[in-house]
Amino acid sequence: MKTLEEIKRIREEKRQELDLRVNRGATGIEKHILVCHGSGCTSSKSPKIFEEFKRIIEEENIPNVRVVMTGCFGLCSKGPIVVIRPEDTFYSGVKVDDCREIIEKDIVNHQIVERLLCKDIDNTLVEKLDDFSFYKKQKRVALKNCGIINPEEIDEYIAFDGYKALEKCLFEMTPDSVIEEISKSGLRGRGGAGFPTGKKWSFCKEAEGSEKYVVCNADEGDPGAFMDRSIIEGDPHSVLESMIIAGYAIGASKGYIYIRAEYPIAAKRFQEAIDDAKDYGILGNNIWGTNFSFDCEVRFGAGAFVCGEETALLESIEGRRGQPRQKPPFPANAGLFQKPTLINNVETYANVTRIILNGADWYSSIGTETSKGTKVFALGGNVNNIGLVEVPMGTTLREIIYDIGGGIPNKREFKAAQTGGPSGGCIPKEHLDTPIDYESLKEIGSMMGSGGLIVMDDSKCMVNLAKFYLGFTVDESCGKCTPCRVGTKRLLELLTNITDGKGEDGDIEKLVELSESIEKASVCGLGQTAPNPVLSTIKYFRDEYEAHIKDKHCPCGECKKLMDVHIVAELCKGCDLCRKNCPAGAISGEPGKVHVVDPSKCIKCGTCIAKCPFHAIKG
Amino acid sequence: MVKLTINGKTVEVEEGTTILEAARKVNIDIPTLCFLKDINEAGDCRMCVVEVEGMRGLVPSCIQKVSEGMVVNTATDEVIEARKTVLDLILSNHERECLTCVRNGNCELQNLAQEFCLDDIRYKGERISGPIDDKSPSIVRNPNKCILCRRCVSTCKKLQGICAIDVMERGFASKIGTYKDLSLNDVNCTFCGQCIESCPVGALTEKDSVTEVWKALRNPDKYVIVQTAPAVRAGLGEEFGMPIGTNSCGKMVTALRDLGFDKVFDTNTGADFTIMEEGTEFLHRLQNNETLPMITSCCPAWIRYIELNYPDLIPHVSTCKSPHQMYGALLKSYYAEKEGIDPSKIYVVSVMPCIAKKFERTRDDQNGAGYEDVDAVITTRELARMIKQAHINFVNLEDSLFDDPMGEATGAAAIFGVTGGVMEAALRTVQEKVTGNAFEKLEYESVRGEKGIKRATLQMGEKEVKVVVASGLKNAQTIMEEIASGQADYDFVEIMACPGGCVMGGGQPIRSSKDRATIDIRAKRSEVLYNIDEKSVIRKSHENPVLKKVYEEYLGEPGGEKAHHLLHTSYVRREKYNLNDN
């Protein structure tokens, strides 16, 4: 147990000690080697790099250097990432074997290991993390501590204003003024729907009942999304602290965080955060001598996408089959165990402590008129810089994809971006300058969603894209209501027919009408938004659908069953690469002469198309 | 009270009313499918969606409660289109073999298709399919017809507290399943048949025995005797469009004769024997301080329930066979002997409001006379089917009486078909035996009525007798827990598996969800049996002249050796899940 005074002392001492992590001008002799321990870097063996650094330092007895595990830096595609502070030297793609060189050259001799530096989009070598164009337009609020602190050390969290917001709430603010501050900040739910957070808190506070719950939705399930995962992995205490604040604000003394079991690192770190907070007396009875008590528990999700839907999540916590409840009643009135329950997403909570400490005015100065603050996106797909980005609301899609993401690789063209995962819609080129905010995205047929942002180049077939997302929805539908259970399956079947060349006249209309009924009649958000990928691709790429249906042709050559692989004689140089690589022996031709594909042997695998350096082979 | 507008009509209803109920009050019909009042109120199928001003999307009217000033539209283009799509989707995933379906003509899905005048299934595609489970003697489950409304699941779970079935898998692959996909025969299903009553389509049905009965009727070597349970006469008419609560006993007997049965007897006579035997057993236990409370044994689903769930309490159960089994045993012994018929040629058909009776017939120790007591059990519904197959104009039939000499029965036996009836019938006899006096008032009001559990204390001479009546297996569980934990001080317990007793049995005519929500079917059917009792000349089992004669001429004393041999049975411990045969 630590008294408030002791915690304040830790904050002061530790902050000084860790100043070099954030102060680029720090002049001390100490150096910190930060090794990313986010999921991406962990899977490319960053823990081994961490161990290797420690081993060498110990072995060689190198003074004044500390190896630190941190959360995600964001540039996941360049991992494993190692950053040396205070210099901010940014090494990417580091391997275990590189550790010695980094120590000897950089740490001991103050020389940069150039071969481990990363190239920016304009091909220049980037020395310091801050100089990377990827970070230029970003603003880290929710991810503030990610990549700075060791998420497994409560003292490091405390050092960077950790649990200061809670202190402020408990000693300087009433529950009402906390809610007032959140409301004023303009924060809206980051789970996707964008409900005003302050309003939600206030409903829960006003709801009748002495027993209330705070729940954190960490069941991030969109394909390609890892925002919440990264926040918990990199800064678990900020979420926990916000949950405690929420408990104080609405009058709850128990919290649950529902983490999918596929996020073992996040779950482990959050559990440790709970344990450490308990040890410090930040969780438990009569926190810091006040009459406010709060406890928190981790609950695992088994990986059902629908459990990200708040009522299905509550059912699952209660130990039942994860399927949604009809709303109303809303969780604020009858939630967990039928008690008033506040349920927010990880990223929403991650903003709360910042708002309390920096003030609602500061927060609402970021963003647009209706969407305040920042939004974290998991940027993926056909884009150069794949990773985690946090931008102020109102940033355009173009800025994210080109300025931050570094544009489209392989000299391809941008075709569309999908926000909101399977619940969102695709956004075509003409809307690249749409500012990212709740309303604007909705207007163009997509949605904010939780923050998945998949970029697609011009080789991607939009019918196939819709089919992919519907396949996901069909797999993940809980099966409770008819429109979602059978309707999405029928949508998928129609799309499959179209991509198989069996589409018929009227199929597009069928897709639209069925989609509209599914949207209106489904029980929960999963069904209500499931047709978005279909409707948005029809809206913006109807000609592609028509080409599949009428001409039995996939303009992108992605739909194998519609492929007619042939070599354009005028373009073929007879390099023979296609023949050599064809796994079916379907291509014939002599070097230097035009080659030919035998359609009876061709298995439409597309290898030849990819291999042809002259783009002479068409699908 | 809450005031709202539905389709422009102002409606005032009590707080807590659903939009569906409010609409029905002003004669606005909203189609439903998964809705089953008090049992399955989930809003899952989305058939009943309506538009509510200010609410996002379409709202399921079966569960959405009204609120002051609410403006509801039940028939906008959007609503109709959504419902049509939902219906289309359900039909697209349903084995649409209506003409050969047992529910043809009494199917909620078929009715909806008719109401919506669908001219095509627009969204055709893959259909879920699975093997038909017909392993048990009582129940058949056809997943190909299942529309996943989950009414059966809620019935099994919420109404009966059994949970033999639940939803498995998810999304389009969702199916109703059992533990490890075992047959219902091999899990904790009690064969109460309430799921069949709840099923809007033909996914759950009784195991058909009509074919074998026709075969017996056409076999000149067989002497085919039919007996009918009390509740059958209170329900059969409904199958022919007669109002709920019609006593069709006379027409039923005529129809059975027309079908070609050699003799038409009344199971009520068997029920009188049950009272004699059970009453005697109870008195014996009471006077000799043997295992009490004694629990009735005429409900085979209940017997299966206790064997599966509380095998340690089996000694509490009366060893009496159920009425139709007793009766079958007597027909193949006493009656055969008296009439000079070779008992091996006698074929006894029981018409029952119950599907568990089909299972009961196949149990061990149900062959007192050396032959199976009963050869076939058909439900009320199956009897109706036979009458329809024979093209008998049931509604216009003349009434006729059961055959003598085994047809005489008392009012006490008639009320066996209602929850509390067995208790009441037994009390009439027991009380008289204990006190030696005949009672003026025979109605034991304390064990009548709709409550699932009815407790009463009765003065019998110097002794206070505590009784409890429970119907519905969830209520049975409450009583069993009381007994198992030693909290109960009951002397006599009556349990019926079906809520309301046999009139609401799993073999009775299936009523739509709307009927169940708007008509008190239980009360109406029960009334038939209470009326029969009230109008009966003889209302106490021990005064039935047939009984007197059979005991004098053949059985000896009630509870005596011969009676025991013929009319009593034994029970077994059952594993909830039988993995061995699979």
**Closest chain A residue to the Cα of B33, Cα to Cα:** A482
User: Dihedral of CA A438/A444/A447/A448: which sign?
Assistant: negative
Containing structural domain, residue A585? 563-618
CATH number at residue B41: 3.10.20.740
Inter-chain CB proximity B123 and A514 less than 8 Å: yes
Nearest CB partner across the interface for A326, out of B60, B82, B169: B60
- On chain B, the residues whose CB falls within 8 A of the CB of A326 are 42-43, 60, 63-64
Beta-carbon separation of A479 and B148 below 8 A: yes
Residues of A with CB below 8 A from B82's CB? 483, 517, 520-521
Tell me the residue range of the domain where B51 lies.
2-75
Positions of chain A with pLDDT under 50: none
Domain count, chain B: 2
Helix (H, G, I), strand (E, B) or coil at A410: coil
Residue in chain B nearest A473 by alpha carbon? B171
Task: State the nearest Cα–Cα gap between B95 and chain A, in angstroms.
Answer: 14
Other residues' Cβ atoms within 10 Å of the Cβ of residue A246: 31
pLDDT tens digits for range A195-239: 999 999 999 999 999 899 999 999 998 888 999 999 999 999 999
Whether residue B123 lies inside any domain: the answer is: no
Residues in A closer than 8 angstroms to B121, CB to CB, are none
Q: A193 with A246, same domain?
A: yes
Chain A CB contacts of B46 below 8 Å: 481-483, 521-523
pLDDT of A48: 96
B128 is a domain residue: no
What secondary structure letter does DSSP report for A491? H
Can you tell me the ipTM of this complex?
0.92
Look up residue B367 and give its DSSP letter.
-
CATH number for the domain spanning A76: value is: 3.40.30.10
Residues of A in contact with B120 (CB under 8 A): none
- Residue where a domain terminates, one of B54, B75, B96: B75
A479 contacts B173? CB cut-off 8 A: yes
Q: Write out chain B residues lying below 8 Å of A519, CB-based.
A: 57
- Give the closest of B43, B46, B126 to A493, CB-based: B126
Q: What is the CA radius of gyration of chain A?
A: 26
A577 falls within a domain: yes
Work out the minimum CA distance from A494 to partner chain B, whole angstroms. Answer: 9
Average pLDDT score, chain B: 94
> Are A309 and A213 contained in the same domain?
yes
The contacts of residue B335 (CB under 8 Å, 6+ apart) are: B341, B346, B406
d(CA B432, CA B18): 50
Q: Is residue A149 part of a domain?
A: no
Nearest CA in chain A to B81: A517
A323 and A184 together in one domain: yes
- Among the partner-chain residues A326, A474, A514, the one whose CB lies closest to the CB of B172 is A474
Catalogue the E-assigned strands of A190-288.
213-218, 254-260
Domain end, chosen from B75, B94, B111, is at B75
Q: Are residues A260 and A203 in the same domain?
A: yes
Considering the domain architecture, whether residues A265 and A304 belong to the same structural domain is answered as yes
The model's pLDDT over B212-251, given as tens digits with 9 standing for 90+, comes to: 999 999 999 999 999 999 999 999 999 999 999 999 999 9
Size of interface A-B (CB pairs under 8 A): 105
- CB of A614 within 8 A of CB of A575? yes
Beta-carbon count within 10 A of B469 CB:
30
Q: Among the three residues A457, A486, A509, which one is the final residue of a domain in this structure?
A: A457
> A588: domain CATH number?
3.30.70.20
Residue B556 has a pLDDT of 93
Supply the DSSP string of A534-601, one letter for each residue.
HHHHHHHHHHHHHHHHHS---TTS--GGG---EE-TTT-----HHHHH-TT--EE--TTS--EE-TTT
pLDDT in tens, B103-138: 999 999 999 999 999 889 999 999 999 999 999 999
In terms of domains, do A273 and A349 share one?
yes
CA distance A586 to chain B (A): 35
What pLDDT score was predicted for residue B439?
67
Q: Is A145 a member of any domain? A: no
Q: Where are the beta strands (DSSP E) in A129-284?
A: 213-218, 254-260
CB atoms A481 and B58 under 8 Å: no
Q: Which amino acid is at A194?
A: G
Question: What span, in angstroms and rounded, lies between the C-alpha atoms of A65 and A67?
Answer: 7
Decide if B187 is inside a domain.
Answer: no
Does A301 fall in a domain?
Answer: yes
How many Å apart are CA A501 and CA A548, to the nearest integer?
6
Is there a contact between A326 and B43 if contact means CB atoms under 8 Å apart? yes
User: How high is the pLDDT of residue A121?
Assistant: 85
**Of A478, A481, A487, Cβ closest to residue B170:** A478
Q: What is the pLDDT of residue A164?
A: 96
Residue B160 lies in a domain: no
What is the reported pLDDT for A303? 86
Identify the contact set of chain B against chain A, taking CB-CB distances under 8 A.
42-47, 49, 57-58, 60, 63-64, 78, 81-82, 85-86, 89-90, 92-93, 122-123, 125-126, 148, 167, 169-174
Interface test with A, best of B58, B109, B170 (most A CBs within 10 A): B170
CA distance B90 to chain A (A): 7
Give yes or no: residues A243 and A198 share one domain. yes
Residue A539 C-beta-side C-alpha neighbours within 13 Å: 19
Whether residue A58 sits in one domain with residue A30? yes
Specify the amino acid at residue A378: A
Compute the distance between CA of residue B268 and CA of residue A423 in angstroms, rounded to an integer.
63
Average pLDDT rounded to a whole number, residues B431-455: 80
A249 and A353 part of one domain: yes
Q: Kindly state whether residue A438 falls inside one of the protein's structural domains.
A: yes
Judgement on whether residues B70 and B217 belong to the same structural domain of the protein:
no
Q: Is residue B198, in this structure, part of any structural domain at all?
A: no
- Domain count along chain A: 5
Residue A396: which CATH number? 3.10.20.600
Residue B295 lies in a domain: yes
- Does B417 fall in a domain? yes
What is the Cα A355 distance to its own chain's centre?
Answer: 21
Residues of A in contact with B58 (CB under 8 A): 520-521
* B271-291: b (≥16 Cβ within 10 Å) or e: bbbbbbbbbbbbbebbeeeee
Please identify, among A438, A457, A476, the residue that sits at the C-terminal boundary of a domain: A457
- The answer to whether the Cβ–Cβ distance between B85 and A514 falls below 8 Å is yes
Domain stops at, among A434, A457, A480: A457
Query: Would you call B539 helix, strand, or coil by DSSP?
Result: coil
Contacts of A487 in chain B (CB under 8 A): 85, 89, 123
Residue A418 covered by a domain: yes
Least confident of B4-8, B150-154, B268-272, B441-445: B441-445
Alpha carbon B456 to its chain's center: 25
Residues A207 and A273 reside in one and the same domain: yes
In a domain, B578, yes or no: no
Range of lowest pLDDT (B243-257, B304-318, B339-353, B412-426): B412-426
Give the distance from residue A476's alpha carbon to the nearest chain B alpha carbon, in angstroms: 6
Query: Residues near A159 by Cβ (< 8 Å), separated by ≥ 6?
Result: A10, A11, A14, A15, A17, A18, A149
For residues A235 and A278, state if they share a domain: yes
- Of B18, B45, B75, the position where a domain reaches its end is B75
Q: Indicate if A449 and A576 belong to the same structural domain.
A: no
Instruction: Measure A251 CA to nearest chain B CA, in Å.
Output: 28
Q: Which residue has the tokens 């809620």?
A: B154
CATH number at residue B401: 3.40.50.1780
Do A521 and B93 lie within an 8 Å CB cutoff? no
**Which chain B residues have a beta carbon less than 8 Å from that of A485?**
148, 171-172, 174
B582 pLDDT exceeds 60? no
**What sign results for the dihedral spanned by CA atoms A398, A400, A401, A405?**
positive
A236 prior amide bond cis, ω within 30: no
Q: Is residue A598 part of a domain?
A: yes
Residue A574's CB is within 10 A of a number of other CB atoms, namely 17
Domain-embedded: residue A556? no
Minimum distance, in Å, between the CA of residue A437 and any CA atom of chain B: 21
Tell whether the torsion through CA atoms of A277, A281, A284 and A290 is positive or negative: negative
Residues B90, A482: C-beta atoms closer than 8 Å: yes
